[in-house]
Structure formats: structure tokens, C-alpha cells
Amino acid sequence: MLDRLVLIMERLRDPENGCPWDREQTFASIAPYTIEEAYEVADACARDDMAALKDELGDLLLQVVYHSRMAEERGAFAIGDVVTAICDKMIRRHPHVFGDGRSPGWEALKAEERRGHADASALAGVALGLPALLRAEKLQKRAARVGFDWPDADGPRAKIIEELAEVEDAPDAEARAEEIGDLLFAVVNWARHHHVDAEAALRSANAKFERRFRSMEALADGGFATLDLAAQDRLWDRAKAAEKSPVSAPDSAPSPPR
């Protein structure tokens, strides 16, 4: 079945008879779609929606085939090379399954792989295109693997307090932005020490805020924007309380959306 998808992409990219839109795409123009599709896969997983997951995995697979086709047009590699490379990597990284039953350990395996690359840093390969919170966590985990880490959560907690003070003492907007970046990095570190995925936690907080905000709008019956902040804040408290202990809303106001 993969061969069929490869042939479809080849037709779409055909210089003479292909799709004009598909022909003009480049790695740079397609990359945002690749990232978007990965997020849609993650969303389907979070909702445990198997029908959506099937569709989104197909969309993500299309992205792999798309990039591979453009690389083949350059003479760099083809989809078969991508599959071979990942198969070899999985076997190489699991000698306890595919080898003699012994493994030198994950870090030793990764170090051996980095030895063949120009960038042998422990931080090598952490993609620049990752969401900032996720990339911060990955960088911290990489550093921790070689011993550069706080021994417990007290270290990053103290760092958060330190960074808050530096934000307040920042002399100008540029310095303040830098210090807020340091503060966010410290918060990710603190979350990591509590075994909390910062990216997932913020995604959940976004969903909660959106849910409660929509409830406030429903309670205001179309007049939310005309209310002062104190009235809006009271609606927030009602939406929050209703979410924690669902009860029927008063007849005078519509029920929050479910």
C-alpha cells in the first residue's frame, strides 16, 4: 500500500502533468504542514479517537512521502532509504532484542551514533522546529543524562524565584523579554523534576481556559464584552464552580456549553 501512495505523489509532482500546487512546493513550504499533522495525530491520541487517528496518521504518512519525493528529485534519497534507515536504527538501538541479549545502555548507544557526526554534543539533534516548551524539556533531559542537572526540585524552584526578581529588575523591554525566557525555562525545569510534561500541561491549561471562557460568554448571554472586569470575574467564578461541581444553571441565564 505504501507503493501506491509513493506513485500518487510521483504523479502529483510530475513536472508536466502533475498538480500545479504540489509541483511548486518545497521542503520549507511543506514543513509547517508536517508539524501541523503531527499535532493532529497527538490530538487524536489525547481524545482516544481511533477513527480520527487513522486519518491523521495517513496525513502524517503523506508528509513523509512528500519530503522523500522532493529529496529523490534532488538525487539525495528516496522513501526506501528512509525506511531502511529507520529499520537499521531500531535494530541498532535494541541489541537486547535483535542482538546478543545485552545492551550497553541508551546513552552509550546514542554516543556511538553521535561519534559519526560533526556535532558530537549531548544536545545534538534536538530539533529547532520543536515547540519551545518541548524543546526546553528535551534540552534539559539531554543535559541531565550527562550529569548536568539539579539533584531535586528545590533547585529549579529557587531558580524560578531568582528569575522572577530579575524580570522585575530588568532595565528595559529587551532585558525583560530575555529574563522572562529564563523564567519559562526554569518553570519547565521545575515541571520536569515533578515528572510533569510542560507542553502537555500548558495544552491542558489552554483547553481549560477556553472551556471556562466559553462558559462565561454563555452565562452573559451575548453581553460579555459590555461587562466591566469585576462582573466578568464573577462570571469566571461561576463557570469555574459549575465545572468543579456541575449543577443546573439558574433560569435567568443559559447553561454553560457542555
Q: In the prediction, which pLDDT does 46 show?
A: 85
Q: In the prediction, which pLDDT does 253 show?
A: 42
Asked if 32 and 75 count as a contact pair (C-beta separation under 8 A), the reply is: no
Cell of 218: 454563555
Q: In the prediction, which pLDDT does 250 show?
A: 45
Read off the pTM.
0.62
Cell of 54: 487513522
Q: With residue 127 as reference, give the H or E element that holds it.
A: none
Cell of 193: 523534576
pLDDT tens-place string over residues 109-141? 666 666 666 777 888 888 887 889 999 999 999
What stretches in the chain show pLDDT beneath 50? Answer: 248-258
pLDDT tens-place string over residues 163-188? 999 999 999 999 999 999 999 999 99
Q: In the prediction, which pLDDT does 131 show?
A: 86
Longest pairwise C-alpha distance within the chain = 72
Q: In the prediction, which pLDDT does 116 show?
A: 64
